[in-house]
A and B are shown apart, each in its own frame.
Chain A
Amino acid sequence: MGVIIQCELMKLKHRGRIFGIIGASLVSAGLMVPIFLLLETGMNDWNSIFVICFIISAFITQIFLCVLSGEIFTQEYEQKTIQPMLMYPIDRSRLYYGKMAVMFMYGLLATVLSSLLPLISISVVNVFHVSVTEPFTLGHWLTFAFLLVVFSVTHTVGSIVYSYFSIVRRSTLLKVLACILLISPFGGGETGENVFFRLISVGIMTVLSLLFLIPTLKTFKSEDVG
């Protein structure tokens, strides 16, 4: 598995510029939007701030994973490099999991960065323009850490859906629609709503995403290629 991950990273290394541009624009948006919201809506508790952070995180991570799935799966089919790939003495399911491991790694990194950066930017702005008056306690840290773990898992599991639309139903349009649907459970409603309520829809989304794994793996393993 390590070798597959290493090779996938080698391939992605040469797409650094694209990732840089996407990453920079999304992170800038992630830094600017919470500041705007803090100044405009006058949010005054950390739970509301967390909701904003994870909405932004979902937006950034899902778009990033959608683009990444194109690089990791769709490009292989479009450029037909999947053909030599499937001729290695490696079980096809291991190849799939190796590619997914890279998606998971990037998904995890994107979730952590995209949720922490808005929180940091809000905290900094809050020093100069006090809006949130309640102190940031250990309980808040624990809540944030818990949510970070939950959303990291959720986002990365969501990448299975993108792999489905790259392998089984190869369609960029459907992938974009999936991306919108995967972002939606995180957003919507009042920003002041308790973040834990959102976990229900996020949980449903995670289970649904896992259901995509079976047909994806089946197709990847048994499909005639070339």
Chain B
Amino acid sequence: MTYAIQTHGLSKRIGGHTIVDNLNMNVKAGEIYAFLGGNGSGKTSTLKMIANLWKPTAGSIEVFGKTIKPQSYEYLQNVGSIIEYPRFYERLSARKNLEIHQKLSGYEEKGCIDQVLKQVDLSLSSESPVSTFSLGMKQRLGLARAILTRPSLLLLDEPINSLDPAGIKEIRSLLIDLSKQRGLAIVISSHILSELEEMAATVGIIHRGRMLTELSYQAISEMNRQSIEFMVDDGQKAAFLLHERLGLSKFTVVDAHTIRLYERLNEGGKINGLLSSEGVEVRSMVLKQDTLEDYFLSLVDRSNNHAGESK
């Protein structure tokens, strides 16, 4: 299998603080990889190291099988990116900015600027100074710059932030098309989990600099079964009854009033009746389908609990 990116024990420490900790990441060529994590989890730092903006403290990075060294620059010809926030020469027009990018990237195809401007719906603003652009327009221009030189790998750090719903939809379908038509590998980080849910083939979840898990979206979907969510007045008592009286074990106590049950879903009425007869007030009972967000939150929660226990 060809990998677009593989990191091995990647770490970054700044001033005694570990930002990325022994991270192993595997992005297959041609796939869309969702890189999930909360604020300050280490997503951007990891992307910066892959883009050679930051030097790792430990570990290594391979891009298309080649190990990246501090002096490696050639591989960047195959990498397009938006990291943190798309930066431009504000006084120059969108077209001039793309011309500079094209020249410095050593890419000579004629007409490609018009083509990408059209793809991101900025043709009409191509001669306007970037300083007059809204944040959403800059995001789209950033994407245009990232794909201008037809790279094989795109690193997109929260690229759909500040886009309106229509813009998000357009960009999402553009990225899916690029991945399918050009076989582009795309690493896309975002905290808008629902947006990535519809795009990604693989999901990597990072928390406090560590990769919690990395698995295919299909595997996550299979794991994310249906459940019944009970809202009760006493979650602890309800959990005790489910376990002791009904012998159920596949449930989670989400909080003091919420219990999510993953088995015997067709017996919701019966379970409700038992809880009520034992003095537990059932305020609501809803059939739910776990989302990627639920999975993400449960993993982060588990990691936090684990960290708490080890302290």
Contact = CB atoms under 8 A, between A and B. Distances in A.
A14 B53 contact: no
B73 A89 contact: yes
Contacts of B77: 89
A17 B127 CA distance: 20
Contacts of B84: 83, 226
B237 interface: no
Interface string B274-302: 00000000000000000000000000000
Given A87-B51, A89-B106, A226-B83, 12 more contacts: A7-B100, A10-B92, A10-B96, A11-B89, A14-B92, A79-B87, A81-B89, A87-B53, A88-B104, A89-B74, A89-B75, A226-B84
B169 interface: no
Contacts of B52: 86-87
A89 B54 CA distance: 15
Nearest to B80: A87
B145 interface: yes
A225 interface: yes
12 contacts: A11-B100, A14-B89, A15-B91, A79-B89, A81-B89, A83-B53, A84-B145, A89-B75, A89-B76, A91-B71, A224-B48, A225-B54
A224 B53 contact: yes
A27 B244 CA distance: 93
Given A11-B89, A225-B53, A83 B104 contact: no
Interface in B78-103: 79, 81, 83-85, 87-92, 96, 99-101, 103
Most buried by B among A10, A83, A87, A222: A87
B76 A222 contact: no
Interface of B is mostly: loop
A212 to B, nearest CB: 22
Interface in A211-226: 222, 224-226
Interface of A: 3-4, 6-7, 10-11, 14-15, 79-81, 83-92, 222, 224-226
A101 to B, nearest CB: 15
B91 A10 contact: no
A4 B104 contact: yes
Most buried by B among A15, A83, A86: A83
Nearest to A92: B73
Given A89-B105, A224-B53, A226-B48, A81 B87 contact: yes
A11 B77 CA distance: 22
Most buried by A among B52, B54, B89, B96: B89
Interface in B102-140: 103-106
Contacts of A88: 73, 76, 104-105
A89 B145 CA distance: 15
Interface in B44-60: 48, 51-55
A87 to B, nearest CB: 5
A157 B260 CA distance: 71
Contacts of A225: 53-54
B207 to A, nearest CB: 22
A87 B79 contact: yes
Q: Which 9 pairs across A and B sit closest by C-beta, in order of nearness?
A: A89-B77, A224-B54, A88-B104, A89-B76, A14-B91, A80-B87, A7-B100, A81-B87, A225-B53
